């Protein structure tokens, strides 16, 4: 994990997608301790995305989303160190859970405010 400096903030504004993540998980992604985000659907989105903490109205950093794949119970259990979800409950409610794989996370020095539009639940378009 690198802390993003003011010099890099202008480049960050060029990123066109942001993912909304609960604050606890966002912090783990941004410090590099969580590289798999468990979701209930696949995504074709790849590249650098902004990491938004839900219910804050703020962007806290960015990471590269470079893969997504369906998760089996075996993969879930064998890879706790990547997703940090304590129990199988992290997979419950999903017909097919997916791991969205992140790398190269960077936390911003200061969070950046943004305006969420109605209907934006997972992704934010900038």
The CATH number covering residue 17 comes to: 2.30.130.30
Domain count for the chain, please give it. 1
Would residue 126 count as lying in a domain? no
- In this predicted model, what pLDDT tens digit does every residue of 40-74 receive, in sequence order? 999 999 999 999 999 999 999 999 999 999 999 89
pLDDT for position 73? 86
Q: What is the pLDDT of residue 6?
A: 53
Q: If you average pLDDT over residues 7-14, what whole number do you get?
A: 55
Question: What rounded mean pLDDT belongs to the chain?
Answer: 88
Task: Give the domain extent around 79.
Answer: 2-121
pTM (2 decimals)? 0.85
Question: Is residue 65 included in any domain, yes or no?
Answer: yes
Give yes or no for residue 38 having a pLDDT over 90. Answer: yes
Using the 8-state DSSP alphabet, how is residue 31 labeled?
T
Any domain includes 100: yes
Is 82 within the bounds of a domain? yes
Higher pLDDT, 119 or 81: 81
Q: Alpha-carbon distance 100 to 21, whole Å?
A: 12
């Amino acid at each position: 994990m690198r802390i993003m400096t003011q010099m890099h903030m202008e480049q960050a504004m060029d990123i066109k997608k942001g993912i909304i993540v609960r604050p606890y998980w966002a912090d783990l992604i941004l410090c590099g301790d969580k590289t798999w985000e468990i979701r209930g659907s696949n995504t074709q989105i790849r590249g650098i995305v902004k990491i938004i903490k839900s219910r804050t109205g703020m962007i806290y950093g960015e990471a590269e989303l470079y893969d997504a794949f369906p998760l089996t119970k075996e993969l879930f259990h064998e890879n706790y160190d990547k997703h940090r979800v304590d129990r199988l409950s992290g997979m419950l409610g999903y017909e097919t859970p997916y791991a969205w794989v992140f790398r190269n996370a960077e936390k911003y020095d200061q969070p950046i405010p943004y305006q969420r539009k109605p209907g934006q639940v997972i992704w934010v378009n900038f």
